[in-house]
C-alpha cells in the first residue's frame, strides 16, 4: 500500500511541476508581448510625431520599420503556432503591397517588396507542408506567388 501512495505522490508532484513550468513559459511570453506593446506605444507617441513633421514619407518609413522589426521578432518566437505564422505571413504581405505592389499605391521599393513576399512565401510553404488541408494557407500562398510574380514582371 505504501509504495502505491509513493508513486501517486511522485506522479502528482511531477504533474504540478510540469504545469508550473508551462505557466512560467506562458508568463514569459505574455511579459515579452507587453514589453513589445509598450515599445510600440512609445514609438508612436515619441517618434511618429517627429517623423510626421518631416513629411508623410518619413512617417511611412518609420511605421514600416517598426512593423518589420515586430514581424521579425514574432517570427523568431512562433514555436509551431500555425495561426501566428499566418498572421506574420499576412503582415509581410501587407508590407510588400505597400512597398511595391503595382496594383496599389506603393512606395516604389520593389526590392523590399520582393524580400517581404519571400518571407511570407517561406512561412506559408512551411505551414502548407504541415496543414495541407487548410484552404486559407493555399489562398495566401497563391496570392503571394501571384503578387511576387507581378512585381517581377513590372521590372521591380
Q: How many structural domains comprise the chain? A: 1
Taking alpha carbons only, the member of 106, 113, 104, 103 closest to residue 148 is 113
State the pLDDT confidence band at 149, using cuts at 50, 70 and 90: very high
Per-residue pLDDT, averaged over 40-53, amounts to 73
Structural domain contains residue 94: yes
Identify whether 81 is part of a domain.
yes
Domain range spanning residue 115? 12-153
**Per the domain annotation, does 62 fall within a domain?**
yes
In a domain, 98, yes or no: yes
pLDDT tens across 65-81, in order? 888 888 888 888 877 88
CATH classification of the domain holding 135: 1.25.40
Phi, psi of 101 (to 5 degrees): -70, 120
- Give domain status of residue 125, yes or no: yes
47: in domain = yes
Contact call for residues 128 and 139 (beta carbons, < 8 A): no
Q: How far apart are CA 125 and CA 129, in angstroms?
A: 6
pLDDT band at 156 (very low <50, low <70, confident <90, very high): low
Amino acid at each position: 500500500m505504501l509504495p502505491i501512495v509513493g508513486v501517486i505522490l511522485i506522479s502528482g508532484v511531477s504533474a504540478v511541476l510540469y504545469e508550473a513550468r508551462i505557466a512560467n513559459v506562458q508568463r514569459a511570453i505574455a511579459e515579452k508581448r507587453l514589453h513589445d506593446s509598450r515599445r510600440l506605444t512609445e514609438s508612436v507617441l515619441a517618434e511618429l510625431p517627429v517623423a510626421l513633421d518631416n513629411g508623410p514619407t518619413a512617417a511611412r518609413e518609420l511605421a514600416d520599420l517598426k512593423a518589420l522589426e515586430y514581424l521579425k521578432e514574432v517570427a523568431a518566437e512562433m514555436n509551431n503556432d500555425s495561426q501566428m505564422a499566418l498572421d506574420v505571413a499576412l503582415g509581410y504581405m501587407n508590407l510588400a503591397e505597400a512597398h511595391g505592389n503595382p496594383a496599389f499605391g506603393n512606395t516604389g521599393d520593389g526590392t523590399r517588396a520582393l524580400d517581404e513576399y519571400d518571407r511570407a512565401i517561406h512561412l506559408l510553404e512551411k505551414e502548407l507542408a504541415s496543414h495541407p488541408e487548410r484552404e486559407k494557407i493555399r489562398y495566401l500562398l497563391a496570392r503571394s506567388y501571384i503578387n511576387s510574380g507581378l512585381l517581377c514582371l513590372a521590372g521591380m
